[in-house]
Structure 1
């Protein structure tokens, strides 16, 4: 609380409510204001305390969250409109208890409770619900809570209750109370300790006093050993245990209960000048029988209570900021209450927290004792038997890759359908992601762009050759073959686009065959050009037999003949074993690669091999006549283009076989683009240079070499 001097001070109340709410007697000459804003209250384990606090704070509309009170009257939203709890209410406990009685077939049970008014009311309600479920209640015995005080009447009532329990035919007795002292009866009163042959069932409110999982339970509480109880479901609080192990009384400015704990556990006073403490004492050194940090039921409920307030405050200020409001810590208690009503979040253990219309959280129970040789295998795992061990003892191993289990203690894992794959936890199957080389991929977009650019370049070169068709250079290079070659190259570039995108049945049928036929026409045109050069040069020699073929349409027939061979191979391929779309589920984990199965591998490599044969033949012929005079330097260009072509396709085969999925398609597209660009660049770029840049060289004299001879003379 901060104090600031003012001219006058206002009077403030000095009643208990004012003190609870942080309002104290003012100091003359000063006004008081709080450093922080009180948000609400976190309640205790006592129903009486929670009742008083809830009524008092409810007047001011402050929300209260209890981490330990389970009594049913707090469900009344008219009487307790601002009361919430992070523990389970009595109704949920009754329903769970009845289900357990039905499971074991226990239809004759007794109830032991205290003479507390709340316990009496709740026990009668439990009795009615048990009877309503078709079971019977043998008795409802009441134990006076004043038995700890000396008194003959209390002693007599205690003895009578113990005798009735012992003589009853009911073998199952429910200890039903919210009074902690009732559980101490079995540790302090001899007559209850002597009762044998009963199965005790202990309610949640007092079960936390007894740790059923502890080995070596205190012999004084032996009668409750082996009993059953609903306990509050617990989860590990991240970092909480490490924090407890690190705290020491000396880090707190004022004496706390830790000082008493240190005196009791370590026989030393850490805050005394004459302390016998070594400074190495920690809570981790205290035996579990005295302080078990792993089994504090209400600690987790308190942890949830704090986070409920935190989430509600966060949501309130988030909405406030979205509406442009002032983010100062100014709000009315009833405003926060509205956000607590709708708070919803998950704990680190996956438990979902929210409040129903009565201010209760979802029902989660633990039922000790827990006696198993091996813990159950969770979904995603399967059981394997241990050698020389009973069937109850087993190991849990994760399901193999591609398998899943969605039940507890699965004997075997199951395989997912072909188009599905297990999730990360292997407890369910998810739809596989479909992968293919698409236009949305950067690689696909780049390859498509390159194909379109080269296709436009081919069209541009074709336009240049058509425009300058009557020039000596175009005529000398067999313009008809040049037209066919340029047009086929343009289509070849565009053919690569069919390899990109979603592969369908028609796409798979056409893309390889269309590419093979069109590209064969291009290679056949190159071969025809090479043969034309050979015929033209040989015909100039005296008594040459090839002179009669000059000027004929042998080049066109050669293109038709060579292309026909590829067409026949493709037709047979499509008729016998055509390509088809398929999903590859083996290569990539959790994914399906959509690809075209080439059908007949022999046919596919026959198509590629035929193109390679024509290319190699063109290379050999062009290489043999590469040293022709300058007027016939077409052979040199063809030789170099075929060298580039062969280099690309020789590299293609190992690269194609070593890749999978969309990258295999990308390798083939690259080979198509690179080899086609090699033909376009090596054969036509020099000619375009002469046509556009050096028209002085585009003359008949220069092409026939007469200008050169004249200069020599």
Structure 2
């Protein structure tokens, strides 16, 4: 039995195409049988025969033909075979999976093997359900995986799915969808071609395609059911990259120029092609006068040569005034159509292979290679015995069946391209071979693919454009994973590949570049001498420290003068020395923070300023004591001794010293790498160890300065000869103002600027003390010597120094 996979297409322009597809397969069976019968080495003294039955792909005719062949008679007689003298070895066909399922269930009752040349449903691989079914084409399981691999290999992550509503289409497209989704791609839409409707639901399908952003559509259908969809696409001028299943990947509808613009660039998986030597010559020998298949040949002849046989009823079902009479002398070799093209045989080769597979099983039976022991008689065998031999076919044969009755899964990847003469051709651009070694299963030559006229490179079909480096894919709520938005990486993170789902956090000592594509070493920041700011502050500190030294020299030179004597010469010298060190202590804050630097800088600053402010406090109190001692009956004269002032300086400084030693003992400062303040930088700084101790030290200085300010302010109206209190008031006011301003400034500053701020406060407060305490005295000593006399100092009402 032979069942053609004819395509009953309604439009008359496609009728020739249908017949051209039937004829090569029918003739391939004739050729294979003739070839075997003509070879004395194959089944000698045995003649193969066959019976062909055209079901027209109609289910009830398929069933009728199968039962008729089993009966061996024109009438169907269940459970009985009339042609008892001829053994029925097997049946070849049907081509449709649904039909094969039905026929297989029936033939299972009779244990007849059924070999399909085109049925690809995965259900037929179930040997419990279909123990007598074989096929010469791979299961759709492999095709579906191949289609998914093809889509993913070309970078398409947003595709539409279209399938005919039959077992073939629904099972196949379901497997494709599974493979695509499992690989991380997405399905934009999935629609069915409704075979029960004349328009195949084409208007709705094309409307969905037009609304979708997917540029690629995988179609699991046959060409007959696809034509209404293509017609609707032409009507609405919609073009998409179509991915074809094997049922239409090499369809002859490519010759219909109506669809050329919409089919160029189509790529799909096709049954592995093969060649049959001598078939071309054999096909050209058919003639309308032949008895075998005369009805089909005359139909084909009328269509091929656009003529009709006058002596017979017009077989094609249509007439035209332009038709000429068929003479029978037309030269078939001159016809260029699908029938005469034997360069890449696929379904035809599958039929040819099926005949040879049955022949090999019969040959094994004749040669007594039966696996169950005793050998059956070649003239009297049971069909189930052939089934066993079909499973035993040698793997070195050009065809063999696995345990599921399936052949090796080998496909060609074909691309639809325009030929030089304007026709359509199927060009092989790759292969999908499950028998190949790992890494070579899927091969494709992308450069050989020709896309649509508008596309010169692989088209892009994605829901969202690829995220560049430095961005990560954030899913859109309620949408597939392929639909996303590109979000810049958060601070401190990068992506070094496109379409990253997450960002990579840089190591603690590195920071992203501006594009957030790589991590670069962080810049190290500290107030160095090479830094312009550090250079300026260091230079200012050194130069400023010379000013108290210069004043000290002036005081030493003029120590015998009244103005110097009146201002407690010894205490003034100590104050000037401490002020010089106040300027110089800022140098400890500049440079790379070493452990020793961190230990000494705040302590040095605290001690030097404690001595300085203690001297001023002592001077202030001594002024008050001196005034009080001049009052009648006062016994405070003993407190005006200079030693008292030294004791006061010592005690005040000692308290600061004790505080600093306690600080260093309990929580001493240490160097640290700060990456929190400015994440882009590594700030090398000194951790004060105990912020409480630092602010206590600074608060103690503020306490001494406040006491000096209060005492001096209260003593500002004392007689002029003793009135240095007004200058102390201004100096302490300036000192306190600087350090009160330092508190919010230090909190707001970051990195090296925090250190610079403290240095500035040190220099500013030191200069305030120098200017307020000694500027007026030096001016008098150097430029107004006439005022530097005892008479001048004891004058009443003179606002000098006292």
TM-score by length of 2: 0.46
**Aligned residues, how many?**
409
- Distance in 2 (alpha carbons) for counterparts of 1:140 and 1:515: 102
- Distance in 1 (alpha carbons) for counterparts of 2:275 and 2:675: 66
CA shift in 2, pair 1:189/1:414, >3 Å:
closer
- What residue is the counterpart of 2:737 in the other structure? 647
Deviation at 1:447, TM superposition (A): 2.2
- What residue is the counterpart of 2:686 in the other structure? 596
Deviation at 1:452, TM superposition (A): 1.8
- Distance in 1 (alpha carbons) for counterparts of 2:335 and 2:545: 106
CA shift in 2, pair 1:449/1:372, >3 Å:
same
Q: 1:598-677, aligned counterparts within 5 Å?
A: 598-677=688-767
CA shift in 2, pair 1:627/1:405, >3 Å:
same
Deviation at 1:172, TM superposition (A): 4.6
- Distance in 1 (alpha carbons) for counterparts of 2:794 and 2:755: 46
Deviation at 1:385, TM superposition (A): 3.3
Matched, 1:568 2:658: yes
- What residue is the counterpart of 1:167 in the other structure? 349
- Distance in 2 (alpha carbons) for counterparts of 1:464 and 1:151: 130
Aligned mate of 2:419, from 164, 185, 205: 185
Deviation at 1:139, TM superposition (A): 8.5
Deviation at 1:653, TM superposition (A): 1.4
Deviation at 1:370, TM superposition (A): 5.0
- Distance in 1 (alpha carbons) for counterparts of 2:409 and 2:637: 124
- Distance in 1 (alpha carbons) for counterparts of 2:514 and 2:274: 52
CA shift in 2, pair 1:188/1:162, >3 Å:
farther
CA shift in 2, pair 1:670/1:296, >3 Å:
same
Contact 1:432 1:590 in 2 (8 A): yes
Matched, 1:415 2:649: no
- Distance in 2 (alpha carbons) for counterparts of 1:383 and 1:707: 84
Matched, 1:704 2:794: yes
- What residue is the counterpart of 1:506 in the other structure? 596
- What residue is the counterpart of 1:217 in the other structure? none
- What residue is the counterpart of 1:230 in the other structure? 446
- Distance in 2 (alpha carbons) for counterparts of 1:186 and 1:172: 26
CA shift in 2, pair 1:430/1:543, >3 Å:
same
Contact 2:464 2:483 in 1 (8 A): yes
Give the root-mean-square deviation of aligned CA atoms.
3.9
Matched, 1:518 2:608: yes
CA shift in 2, pair 1:520/1:156, >3 Å:
same
Contact 2:274 2:346 in 1 (8 A): no
- Distance in 2 (alpha carbons) for counterparts of 1:139 and 1:510: 94
Greater length-normalized contact order (CA 8 Å, ≥ 6 residues apart): 2
- What residue is the counterpart of 1:678 in the other structure? 768
- Distance in 1 (alpha carbons) for counterparts of 2:655 and 2:410: 96
Q: 1:510-589, aligned counterparts within 5 Å?
A: 510-589=600-679
Cα offsets for 1:453-492 (capped at 9, x unmatched)? 2111111111111222222222221111111111111011
Matched, 1:444 2:626: no
- Distance in 2 (alpha carbons) for counterparts of 1:544 and 1:139: 136
Contact 2:274 2:344 in 1 (8 A): no
CA shift in 2, pair 1:655/1:232, >3 Å:
farther
Q: 1:90-489, aligned counterparts within 5 Å?
A: 159-163=341-345, 167=349, 171-173=410-412, 183-185=417-419, 188=422, 192=425, 200-201=429-430, 229-231=445-447, 292=454, 295-296=455-456, 368=458, 371-489=461-579
User: Could you say what secondary structure the match of 1:628 adopts?
Assistant: coil
Deviation at 1:607, TM superposition (A): 0.8
- Distance in 2 (alpha carbons) for counterparts of 1:694 and 1:497: 36
Cα offsets for 1:262-301 (capped at 9, x unmatched)? xxxxxxxxxxxxxxxxxxxxxxxxxx976x3xx446xxxx
- Distance in 1 (alpha carbons) for counterparts of 2:556 and 2:413: 104
CA shift in 2, pair 1:184/1:232, >3 Å:
closer
Contact 1:381 1:397 in 2 (8 A): yes
Cα offsets for 1:89-119 (capped at 9, x unmatched)? xxxxxxxx9xx99xxxxxxxxxxxxxxxxxx
Cα offsets for 1:317-341 (capped at 9, x unmatched)? xxxxxxxxxxxxxxxxxxxxxxxxx
User: Could you say what secondary structure the match of 2:486 adopts?
Assistant: strand
Rg (Cα) greater in structure: 2
Cα offsets for 1:477-530 (capped at 9, x unmatched)? 111111111111101101112222322222222111110100010000001111
CA shift in 2, pair 1:535/1:409, >3 Å:
same
Cα offsets for 1:372-405 (capped at 9, x unmatched)? 4445544423333333334444443222111223
Deviation at 1:646, TM superposition (A): 1.6
Aligned mate of 1:490, from 577, 580, 586: 580
User: Could you say what secondary structure the match of 1:596 adopts?
Assistant: strand
CA shift in 2, pair 1:138/1:632, >3 Å:
farther
- Structure 1 residue runs of 5 or longer lacking an equivalent are 1-96, 102-135, 142-149, 177-181, 203-226, 234-287, 298-367, 709-713
- Structure 2 residue runs of 5 or longer lacking an equivalent are 1-149, 155-271, 278-330, 351-407, 432-442
